[in-house]
Amino acid sequence: MEYLTSIRLRRQLPQESYLCGLPPVRYLMEGGVLHFDTPVTFLVGENGSGKSTLLEGIAVACGFNPEGGTRNFSFSTRATHSPLGEFLTPARRRYPKDGFFLRAESFYNVATHIDELDETTPGPRLIDSYGGVSLHNQSHGESFLSLVEHRFGGQGLYLLDEPEAALSPARLLTLMVMLDQLVKKDSQFVIATHSPILMAFPGARIYQLGEAGVTMAEYRETEHYQLTRRFLENPERMLHYLLEG
Protein backbone atom coordinates (compact mmCIF):
# COMPACT_ATOMS: atom_id res chain seq x y z
CA MET A 1 0.00 0.00 0.00
CA GLU A 2 1.58 3.29 -1.15
CA TYR A 3 1.90 6.58 0.75
CA LEU A 4 1.32 8.97 -2.16
CA THR A 5 -1.61 7.66 -4.21
CA SER A 6 -2.34 10.47 -6.66
CA ILE A 7 -1.68 14.07 -7.66
CA ARG A 8 -4.20 16.48 -9.16
CA LEU A 9 -4.58 20.23 -9.51
CA ARG A 10 -6.13 22.06 -6.58
CA ARG A 11 -6.96 25.02 -8.81
CA GLN A 12 -6.14 26.21 -12.30
CA LEU A 13 -2.88 28.01 -12.96
CA PRO A 14 -2.90 31.51 -14.50
CA GLN A 15 -3.02 31.16 -18.28
CA GLU A 16 0.01 33.44 -18.64
CA SER A 17 2.19 31.10 -16.56
CA TYR A 18 5.01 29.40 -18.43
CA LEU A 19 4.05 26.22 -16.61
CA CYS A 20 0.95 25.91 -18.77
CA GLY A 21 3.17 25.02 -21.71
CA LEU A 22 4.59 21.92 -20.02
CA PRO A 23 3.01 18.57 -21.03
CA PRO A 24 2.31 17.31 -17.48
CA VAL A 25 0.79 20.63 -16.43
CA ARG A 26 -1.45 20.69 -19.52
CA TYR A 27 -2.51 17.15 -18.66
CA LEU A 28 -3.43 18.15 -15.11
CA MET A 29 -5.20 21.32 -16.26
CA GLU A 30 -7.39 19.20 -18.52
CA GLY A 31 -8.55 17.23 -15.50
CA GLY A 32 -5.93 14.50 -15.62
CA VAL A 33 -4.83 12.71 -12.47
CA LEU A 34 -1.48 11.04 -11.92
CA HIS A 35 -1.82 7.80 -9.98
CA PHE A 36 0.97 6.26 -7.94
CA ASP A 37 -0.21 2.75 -7.22
CA THR A 38 3.10 0.91 -7.50
CA PRO A 39 6.11 1.10 -5.15
CA VAL A 40 8.23 2.67 -7.93
CA THR A 41 7.01 5.22 -10.48
CA PHE A 42 9.19 6.76 -13.19
CA LEU A 43 8.68 10.10 -14.91
CA VAL A 44 10.51 10.03 -18.24
CA GLY A 45 10.73 12.36 -21.21
CA GLU A 46 12.98 14.59 -23.25
CA ASN A 47 14.80 17.59 -21.81
CA GLY A 48 12.23 20.32 -21.29
CA SER A 49 9.30 17.93 -21.00
CA GLY A 50 8.66 19.06 -17.44
CA LYS A 51 9.50 15.92 -15.49
CA SER A 52 11.84 17.64 -13.02
CA THR A 53 9.43 20.55 -12.62
CA LEU A 54 6.62 18.09 -11.95
CA LEU A 55 8.69 16.14 -9.43
CA GLU A 56 9.68 19.35 -7.67
CA GLY A 57 6.01 20.36 -7.51
CA ILE A 58 5.09 16.98 -6.04
CA ALA A 59 7.88 17.33 -3.48
CA VAL A 60 6.74 20.79 -2.38
CA ALA A 61 3.10 19.64 -2.21
CA CYS A 62 4.24 16.78 0.04
CA GLY A 63 6.08 19.15 2.39
CA PHE A 64 9.69 18.83 1.21
CA ASN A 65 12.17 21.66 0.80
CA PRO A 66 12.29 22.75 -2.89
CA GLU A 67 16.09 22.43 -2.97
CA GLY A 68 16.02 18.93 -1.56
CA GLY A 69 16.51 17.11 1.71
CA THR A 70 14.06 15.95 4.35
CA ARG A 71 10.88 17.69 5.44
CA ASN A 72 12.91 19.28 8.23
CA PHE A 73 15.25 21.08 5.81
CA SER A 74 14.25 24.70 5.19
CA PHE A 75 17.37 26.28 3.70
CA SER A 76 17.34 28.24 0.46
CA THR A 77 20.41 29.29 -1.51
CA ARG A 78 18.44 30.74 -4.43
CA ALA A 79 14.68 30.76 -4.95
CA THR A 80 14.47 29.26 -8.43
CA HIS A 81 11.74 26.69 -7.87
CA SER A 82 8.43 26.99 -9.69
CA PRO A 83 5.11 27.72 -7.93
CA LEU A 84 3.59 24.47 -9.23
CA GLY A 85 3.59 22.79 -5.82
CA GLU A 86 1.17 25.43 -4.51
CA PHE A 87 -1.40 24.29 -7.07
CA LEU A 88 -1.13 20.53 -6.48
CA THR A 89 -3.15 18.36 -4.14
CA PRO A 90 -1.53 15.08 -3.11
CA ALA A 91 -3.76 12.22 -2.03
CA ARG A 92 -2.34 9.99 0.68
CA ARG A 93 -3.50 6.69 2.06
CA ARG A 94 -1.09 6.90 4.99
CA TYR A 95 1.90 8.94 6.10
CA PRO A 96 5.48 7.70 5.78
CA LYS A 97 7.87 7.58 8.72
CA ASP A 98 10.77 8.69 6.52
CA GLY A 99 11.25 10.73 3.38
CA PHE A 100 13.76 12.55 1.22
CA PHE A 101 13.77 14.70 -1.92
CA LEU A 102 17.00 14.17 -3.88
CA ARG A 103 17.85 16.69 -6.57
CA ALA A 104 21.04 16.07 -8.50
CA GLU A 105 21.44 19.75 -9.38
CA SER A 106 21.23 21.01 -5.80
CA PHE A 107 22.69 18.08 -3.88
CA TYR A 108 25.85 20.16 -3.24
CA ASN A 109 23.68 22.64 -1.32
CA VAL A 110 22.13 19.84 0.74
CA ALA A 111 25.59 18.53 1.64
CA THR A 112 26.69 22.02 2.63
CA HIS A 113 23.60 22.51 4.80
CA ILE A 114 24.28 19.25 6.65
CA ASP A 115 27.86 20.33 7.39
CA GLU A 116 26.70 23.77 8.54
CA LEU A 117 24.11 22.29 10.89
CA ASP A 118 26.74 20.05 12.46
CA GLU A 119 29.05 23.05 12.95
CA THR A 120 26.39 25.21 14.60
CA THR A 121 24.03 22.82 16.39
CA PRO A 122 24.99 21.04 19.63
CA GLY A 123 24.18 17.39 20.11
CA PRO A 124 24.61 14.29 17.93
CA ARG A 125 26.11 14.89 14.51
CA LEU A 126 23.61 14.89 11.67
CA ILE A 127 26.24 13.51 9.30
CA ASP A 128 26.34 10.26 11.28
CA SER A 129 22.94 9.36 9.81
CA TYR A 130 24.46 9.87 6.35
CA GLY A 131 27.36 7.47 6.83
CA GLY A 132 29.61 9.54 9.10
CA VAL A 133 31.71 11.14 6.33
CA SER A 134 30.95 14.58 4.93
CA LEU A 135 29.22 14.22 1.59
CA HIS A 136 31.66 16.83 0.30
CA ASN A 137 34.54 14.47 1.06
CA GLN A 138 33.23 11.83 -1.33
CA SER A 139 32.82 11.74 -5.06
CA HIS A 140 29.46 12.81 -6.41
CA GLY A 141 28.46 9.22 -7.09
CA GLU A 142 29.75 7.94 -3.75
CA SER A 143 27.81 10.61 -1.87
CA PHE A 144 24.59 9.68 -3.72
CA LEU A 145 24.94 6.02 -2.80
CA SER A 146 25.99 6.87 0.75
CA LEU A 147 22.82 8.91 1.11
CA VAL A 148 20.61 6.06 -0.08
CA GLU A 149 22.46 3.40 1.89
CA HIS A 150 22.68 5.21 5.23
CA ARG A 151 19.96 7.88 5.31
CA PHE A 152 17.05 6.07 3.64
CA GLY A 153 15.71 3.91 6.44
CA GLY A 154 12.60 2.39 4.89
CA GLN A 155 8.90 3.03 5.44
CA GLY A 156 9.51 6.20 3.49
CA LEU A 157 8.51 8.29 0.50
CA TYR A 158 11.58 9.08 -1.59
CA LEU A 159 11.53 11.47 -4.55
CA LEU A 160 14.62 11.28 -6.77
CA ASP A 161 15.41 13.69 -9.59
CA GLU A 162 17.82 12.20 -12.13
CA PRO A 163 19.86 10.13 -9.66
CA GLU A 164 21.76 8.63 -12.59
CA ALA A 165 23.53 11.96 -13.16
CA ALA A 166 26.42 10.96 -10.88
CA LEU A 167 26.42 7.20 -11.35
CA SER A 168 28.24 4.84 -13.70
CA PRO A 169 26.26 1.94 -15.22
CA ALA A 170 27.70 -0.40 -12.57
CA ARG A 171 26.71 1.96 -9.77
CA LEU A 172 23.23 2.28 -11.27
CA LEU A 173 22.86 -1.46 -10.80
CA THR A 174 23.98 -1.00 -7.19
CA LEU A 175 21.31 1.66 -6.79
CA MET A 176 18.69 -0.71 -8.16
CA VAL A 177 19.62 -3.28 -5.51
CA MET A 178 19.24 -0.60 -2.85
CA LEU A 179 15.85 0.44 -4.24
CA ASP A 180 14.69 -3.17 -4.14
CA GLN A 181 15.80 -3.53 -0.52
CA LEU A 182 13.98 -0.33 0.44
CA VAL A 183 10.81 -1.35 -1.40
CA LYS A 184 10.88 -4.55 0.65
CA LYS A 185 11.06 -2.28 3.70
CA ASP A 186 7.75 -0.68 2.75
CA SER A 187 9.10 2.30 0.80
CA GLN A 188 7.78 4.20 -2.21
CA PHE A 189 9.78 5.98 -4.91
CA VAL A 190 8.88 8.54 -7.55
CA ILE A 191 11.86 9.05 -9.86
CA ALA A 192 12.46 11.43 -12.77
CA THR A 193 15.07 9.83 -15.01
CA HIS A 194 16.65 9.48 -18.44
CA SER A 195 18.24 6.13 -17.60
CA PRO A 196 16.98 3.07 -19.53
CA ILE A 197 18.85 0.95 -16.99
CA LEU A 198 17.05 2.42 -14.00
CA MET A 199 13.60 2.39 -15.55
CA ALA A 200 13.86 -1.39 -16.04
CA PHE A 201 13.09 -1.82 -12.32
CA PRO A 202 10.59 -4.71 -12.08
CA GLY A 203 6.96 -3.78 -11.66
CA ALA A 204 7.49 -0.04 -11.98
CA ARG A 205 4.95 2.27 -13.57
CA ILE A 206 6.38 4.52 -16.28
CA TYR A 207 4.79 7.85 -17.17
CA GLN A 208 6.13 9.20 -20.46
CA LEU A 209 5.92 12.98 -20.79
CA GLY A 210 5.84 14.54 -24.24
CA GLU A 211 3.82 16.47 -26.79
CA ALA A 212 1.00 13.94 -26.39
CA GLY A 213 0.80 14.92 -22.73
CA VAL A 214 1.24 12.15 -20.18
CA THR A 215 0.90 8.53 -21.19
CA MET A 216 1.70 5.26 -19.47
CA ALA A 217 4.32 3.24 -21.32
CA GLU A 218 5.76 -0.23 -21.12
CA TYR A 219 9.51 -0.31 -20.59
CA ARG A 220 10.37 -1.47 -24.11
CA GLU A 221 8.01 1.10 -25.60
CA THR A 222 9.87 4.07 -24.14
CA GLU A 223 11.92 6.25 -26.46
CA HIS A 224 14.88 5.94 -24.11
CA TYR A 225 14.95 2.14 -24.39
CA GLN A 226 14.38 2.05 -28.13
CA LEU A 227 17.01 4.66 -28.98
CA THR A 228 19.60 3.13 -26.65
CA ARG A 229 18.96 -0.33 -28.07
CA ARG A 230 19.30 0.86 -31.68
CA PHE A 231 22.56 2.58 -30.85
CA LEU A 232 24.10 -0.36 -28.98
CA GLU A 233 23.08 -2.86 -31.65
CA ASN A 234 24.85 -0.89 -34.37
CA PRO A 235 26.76 2.18 -33.14
CA GLU A 236 28.70 2.51 -36.39
CA ARG A 237 25.54 2.82 -38.43
CA MET A 238 24.01 5.33 -36.02
CA LEU A 239 27.16 7.45 -35.94
CA HIS A 240 27.45 7.34 -39.72
CA TYR A 241 23.89 8.62 -39.98
CA LEU A 242 24.49 11.34 -37.38
CA LEU A 243 27.94 12.53 -38.34
CA GLU A 244 28.15 11.97 -42.07
CA GLY A 245 24.53 12.18 -43.14
Q: Is the pLDDT higher at 136 or at 207?
A: 207
What pLDDT, on the 0 to 100 scale, is given for residue 126? 63
**Band (212; pLDDT cuts 50, 70, 90):** confident
- Whole-angstrom distance, CA of residue 58 vs CA of residue 36: 12
What pLDDT, on the 0 to 100 scale, is given for residue 70? 74
pTM: 0.88
What pLDDT, on the 0 to 100 scale, is given for residue 62? 92
Lowest-confidence segment of 11-15, 88-92, 216-220 by average pLDDT: 11-15
Mean pLDDT along residues 165-192: 95
- Whole-angstrom distance, CA of residue 105 vs CA of residue 150: 21
Please state the domain extents for the chain.
Answer: 4-107+154-219
Q: Got the DSSP string for the chain?
A: --SEEEEEESSPPPTT-GGGGSHHHHHHHTT--EE--SSEEEEEESTTSSHHHHHHHHHHHTT--TTSB-TT----S-----SGGGGEEEEESS--SEEEEEEGGGHHHHHHHHHHHHHHS-SS-GGGGGTSS-GGGS-HHHHHHHIIIII--SSEEEEEE-GGGG--HHHHHHHHHHHHHHHTTT-EEEEE---TTGGG-TT-EEEEEETTEEEE--GGGSHHHHHHHHHHH-HHHHHHHHHT-
List, in sequence order, every residue forming a beta bridge with 239; answer none if it has no partner.
none
pLDDT tens string 184-206 = 999 999 999 999 999 999 999 99
What's the topology of domain 4-107+154-219? Rossmann fold (3.40.50)
